[in-house]
Each structure stands twice: as structure tokens, then as C-alpha cells.
Amino acid sequence: MMAENGVDTVMARRLIYEGIPHMFARYISARKAVAQFFAFTALVWLAACDVTLAPEANVGQSIDTSDPVPVALLVPRGSGTGSDDFLAQNLENAARLAIADLEGAKIELRVYSTAGDPATAASAAATAVNDGAKIILGPLYSEAANAVGVAVAGRNVNVLSFSNTTSIAGGNVFILGSTFENTANRLVQYGTRNGINRYLVAYGDNPSGQVGSQAIATAVQNNGGQVVGMESYPLSQQGIFTSTRRIVGSVRSSGAQAVFTTAGAAADLPLIATALPDAGMNTDTTKIVGLTRWDTVPQLHALPGIQGGLFAMPDQSTAALFANRYAATYGEQPHPLAGLAYDGVAAIGALVAAGNSEALTKSALTSPQGFRGTSGVFRLLPNGLNQRALAVATINENQVVILEQAPRSFGGAGF
């Protein structure tokens, strides 16, 4: 589920953006009712409350909110890869859909192609700012997003990237993609409130697994828990089955209450969820907790190892509203990442609608009350990361069961 820290390039191209541990659902519905929902509810800025930042850190262009605000959208069109072109069109479609749903704000969207290339993206960003863009939405891939941030840093322009690579966040670059950190925090906080404090981390021996394992360890430590073991495994059938004997031994000797794994639902999770119980781990007393979404692959739900385990997912009713709206307008289901463009425009539009000339500055973008987006509430943080509302779910009798709904606002349980 989240592709991160350089892993996002591969993930997105394979449609496994596992920082999206949260792909967006799809459906169809009446334009007017859904548009009104997003215009008046889902996309309304929840409140304006300044974050205290040093004056020199408050990057961002001042605007005249009575005029249309020029927003540059950078998409990976022209890379020579059909999936990139398809995604680029979906991002543009979603952004235009959000503009149509805005109330009280006018946005002039200008679309630039990056070819999925950092140098091309940086050049496009510079051109966009020269053309008058006040803020940049995109690009997707982490290296391109980093290059764009550098290219416009001296121009006092913020970048809302679609990446979920946390290492590029900060300064004038924000990431909109779902992150391992956000998912890990949500699950550990839920676990802490339900008596789970001792975690063994089991992760695949690849970049995504390594990044995910660090996110888990940090979340456990930040929430007062204990990481009682860190166990890696090769991403091969034989490697996993051999490693699980060692992992189960560590579970027993450490007294772990849960095995928190980075395993992907469409990759290593079926093997891990089978091999751990086969190696003697009692999943009734030692839960498997997943960093990726388990709901997206129904075939997994019959595996005994994940019965009673924990994973996180976005609010599906909210995600379906966006998918309905998109399908009703464009006649097809949206790409799982299309909602990120909608969210970015929604946040910008809501801030502009408030009539504040400093709407696109860092202090405004990082309002702690956040925004409502295509998969629930979210907010941007001063360090360039984001928080997104997630539900905590389990698998019970081969069915997805929500244990705790995604929060509808910030400040309570779930954040």
C-alpha cells in the first residue's frame, strides 16, 4: 500500500501505490447531489487557524482572491508509457472536477507535462511560475517532485506533490500521497488503546519494506510502545517460509503481542499470513497487523492468519462519492490516484474562498483543522507531510469488519 521514499515511482507505475494503502472506490451517481455534497461539505475548509512558524518559513505567494488564481498542474504525460498518460489524464480530469465543484473561489488551471522526468518537470515548473502560477499541484514521482521544489524554491512558490515519499517533504514541498507513517501511527494508537504494546516488526528485504519497517518502529516508539524485534525476510516463497520459523521463534522469546508486517496484499502477505501460523504462531494471542490494505484483495480474506488481524483503510463511503462523481462526468472509473488532484484543488479552493490574500502560504496550507477530501479529512503539516483519516478494520469470518470508523475531524481519537 504505500509507495514511499523513492519507492513511489515503481508503485504508481504498477498501480500498487501502497502508501495509498488506500485506493479509491468507484461508482456512479447523480451529479447535482454529489456536487453539492463536495461543494458544501467534503471540500469546505474546516476552519482557519494559523500555525506558528518563523516568518522566513512562511513560504507562499500572495494573491488577489477576487481574481481567478492561476494554479499549475504537473502531470506525467509524455513519458512514452501508456499508464503514465492514462494517469495524467485522470489527474487532470479530477482537478477540473474539483474546480467545477468549488463555491466562492475561481481557479485557472494550467496543465504542464513532465514526461515523468525530473529535468522536464523542473523546467515545466519554472515555465509555470513565469506564466504566473501562484502554486504548483503535482508532480507525482518523487524525483520529479523534488526537482520541482528546488526549481521554484527561490520564487516563493509552494508545491503540493502527489508523491508519498516522505524524504522529499519540507520547505516548499508538501506531499499529498498517503504515507506509511500515517498508517502506522493510526494502527499503533488503536493498538495502544486496546492493550497492544509489544510489537515485532516483520518486513520484506526491499526498499519498500525497509522504509515501512522504520515507519512502524517510529510509530511504536512515539506512542509509548516497545519494538521487541525487527525481522526481515527475502521476497521469495522459499525465503519467506524459511524466515518465518525464525520470526515465530522471536515472537515467543520476546513476548510480542503483535507482528506488524509491511507485507503487500498483492505480493508477500498471502505467504506471510500462511507461513506464520504454519510455523506455530497463535494468531489468536499474537495478532498480525498490516501496513497495507487487506480489503482490496478479497481472495485473502479466507486466510486463517489474518482473521482477527488489524489494518487501516479510508472511509469507503466518502471515496465512493468521489468515484460516483467522476464516473458520472467522464464515463469511466477513476484511477486510484486521481483523488489526490481533486484533494489538492479542493484545499486550494477552500482557502481561496475564505478571502485571505495569504491563502497559499505555508501557514494557511497547514491549518490544523485541515480539509475534507475524496477519502476523508486530511491536513498538511509544517514539515511537508500529511495526516489522513483512516478507519481500523479486521477480517472476521472472511469479511472486512470496521472496528473503528475513520474520524470526521481532527482532535479526537484516530489522530
The per-residue pLDDT for range 222-264, each reduced to its tens digit, is 999 999 999 999 999 999 999 999 999 999 999 999 999 999 9
Pairing of β 158-161 and β 135-137: parallel
Query: How far, in whole angstroms, is CA 330 from its chain's centroid?
Result: 24
Task: Summarize pLDDT for 312-352 with one digit per residue, the tens.
Answer: 999 999 999 999 999 999 999 999 999 999 999 999 999 99
Residues 114, 188 contacting (CB under 8 angstroms)? no
C-alpha cell at 167: 524524504
C-alpha cell at 360: 497559499
- Rounded to the nearest 5°, which phi and psi values hold at 75? -125, 155
Unique residue bearing C-alpha cell 504566473: 132
Cα angle for residues 241, 246, 248 (degrees, 5° grid): 90
- Rounded to the nearest 5°, which phi and psi values hold at 360? -100, 15
C-alpha cell at 199: 510489537
Domains, the chain, in order of start with CATH, read 8-178+317-384 (3.40.50.2300), 180-313+392-404 (3.40.50.2300)
Cα angle for residues 40, 341, 71 (degrees, 5° grid): 90
Cα-trace Rg, the chain: 21
User: 32, exposed or middle or buried, with CB in 10 Å at 0-12, 13-18, 19+?
Assistant: exposed
CA distance 69 to 300: 46
Residues 410, 403 contacting (CB under 8 angstroms)? no
Residues 374, 27 contacting (CB under 8 angstroms)? no
pLDDT attached to residue 47: 34
Residues 144, 118 contacting (CB under 8 angstroms)? yes
Q: What are the CA-CA distances from residue 99 to residues 103, 343, 385 (Å)?
A: 9, 11, 24
Residues 81, 92 contacting (CB under 8 angstroms)? no
Residues 314, 375 contacting (CB under 8 angstroms)? yes
Cα angle for residues 334, 336, 339 (degrees, 5° grid): 75
Question: For the stretch 60-71, what's the b/e string if a residue is b when 16 or more beta carbons lie within 10 angstroms of its beta carbon?
Answer: bbebebeeebbb
User: Mean pLDDT for each consecutive 10-residue tract of the chain (415 residues)?
Assistant: 40 36 29 38 36 57 95 97 96 98 96 98 98 98 98 97 97 98 98 98 97 98 98 96 96 98 95 96 97 94 95 96 97 98 98 95 96 96 97 97 95 71
Pairing of β 135-137 and β 173-175: unpaired
Q: How many CA atoms lie within 13 A of 176 on its CB side?
A: 33
pLDDT attached to residue 57: 63
